[in-house]
């Protein structure tokens, strides 16, 4: 049976991939986005679908629709954007969650919350599993996002307990791939653009800090497995446990691009985590999910996408 599905943040990096996958399955999809960081170009491949609707709306305000499922993915995920308007970031996380949960309650819809590995803060446990409570600064410049997402999770569990709403919570670790913004300030997009333009690669700190990077197609596979899994509200970590230092990532991208870029170091931002890597045992056991793309495969596809975007910018 085809469903009527709302995707908040549907014009964003991950949200647009969700919209496309849902439409290919024949669903009616409502893409809700305020276009603060979302981009209509991300939807080029789905604009011709007759069962697709774009709704320009800010989820900090209620919305009244009839839907069967909700994917709540609306919130800037890049520090550049979420720190630019921290109060609005908190509102999007908290008011947005309340409004979407209210909609789910009224329509008896299943709802997924796109939470984040940032709820673990600068972790003292490594790799991070779902039972780890985190080490998060409440007064730092990243807190608007980290604490906003933590509060949103709390609201989701309370709506489940108090109102029996069918909730799903995933914690997304660093994700990359086509449709990332070239100027979003995240490490993969920064490094690729700098390498393609033969500019210095900016490494914050000494580059020894580690991250794990999941290709977007793998993530979306996990999202749908989770959404369709009965009796598993979560939380569930979704990410690639293959860990790499920032220095190693920079050198890998330089090699793949064939760039003349060199590494330069700048001061590490406040509260930047030293390491971040998911324990995905729950996803493996309960969902049968693990990433299939290795990093080089994913980076090659992402580099090709950024080459296309930079070429379009030159032409315009």
88 contact partners, CB below 8 Å, separation of at least 6: 60
The residues facing 110 across adjacent strands are 69
Assigned token pair, 130: 């779902």
For residue 128, which of 276, 287, 288 has the smallest C-alpha distance? 276
Q: d(Cα 214, Cα 300) in Å, to the nearest integer?
A: 13
Helices (H), 117-215: 143-163, 187-196
Q: Does residue 65 contact residue 3 with C-beta atoms inside 8 Å? A: no
Q: Is 201 exposed, middle or buried (0-12, 13-18, 19+ CB in 10 A)?
A: buried
Q: Which of 81, 82, 145, 159 is catalytic?
A: 145
Q: d(Cα 235, Cα 163) in Å, to the nearest integer?
A: 18
Q: Three-class SS string for 192-235?
A: HHHHHCCCCEEEECCCCCEEECEEHHHHHHHHHHHHCCCCCCCC
**Torsion-angle region of residue 86: left (phi > 0), alpha (psi -120 to 50) or beta?**
alpha
Q: Omega of the bond prior to 235 within 30 degrees of 0, cis?
A: yes
Q: d(Cα 115, Cα 167) in Å, to the nearest integer?
A: 12
Q: d(Cα 80, Cα 269) in Å, to the nearest integer?
A: 11
Q: Is 145 a catalytic residue?
A: yes
181 contact partners, CB below 8 Å, separation of at least 6: 13, 37, 39, 78, 189
Residues marked as catalytic = 145
């Amino acid at each position: 049976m085809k469903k009527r599905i709302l995707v908040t943040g549907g014009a964003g990096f991950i949200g647009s991939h969700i919209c496309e996958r849902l439409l290919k399955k024949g669903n009616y999809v409502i893409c809700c986005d305020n276009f603060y960081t979302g981009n209509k170009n991300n939807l080029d491949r789905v604009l011709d679908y007759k069962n697709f609707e774009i709704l320009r709306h800010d989820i900090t305000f209620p919305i009244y629709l009839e839907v069967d499922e909700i994917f709540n993915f609306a919130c800037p995920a890049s520090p550049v954007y979420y720190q630019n308007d921290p109060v609005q970031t908190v509102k999007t996380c908290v008011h947005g969650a309340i409004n979407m949960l209210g909609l789910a309650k009224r329509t008896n819809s299943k709802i997924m919350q796109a939470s984040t590995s940032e709820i673990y803060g600068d972790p003292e446990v490594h790799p991070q599993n779902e039972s780890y409570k985190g080490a998060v600064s409440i007064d730092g410049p990243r807190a608007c996002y980290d604490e906003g997402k933590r509060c949103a999770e709390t609201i989701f569990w309370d709506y489940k307990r108090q109102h029996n709403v069918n909730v799903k919570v995933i914690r997304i670790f660093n994700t990359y791939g086509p449709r990332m913004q070239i100027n979003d300030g995240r490490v993969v997009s920064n490094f690729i653009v700098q390498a393609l333009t033969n500019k210095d690669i900016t490494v914050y700190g000494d580059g020894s800090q580690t991250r794990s990077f999941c290709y977007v197609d793998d993530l979306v596979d996990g999202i749908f497995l989770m959404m369709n899994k009965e009796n598993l509200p979560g939380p569930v970590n979704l990410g690639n446990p293959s860990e790499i230092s920032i220095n190693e990532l920079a050198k890998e991208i330089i090699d793949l691009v064939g760039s003349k870029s060199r590494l330069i170091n700048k001061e590490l931002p406040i509260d930047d985590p030293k390491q971040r890597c998911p324990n995905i045992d729950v996803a493996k056991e309960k969902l049968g999910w693990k990433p299939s793309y290795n990093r080089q495969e994913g980076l090659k596809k992402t580099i090709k996408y950024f080459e296309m975007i930079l070429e379009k910018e030159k032409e315009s």
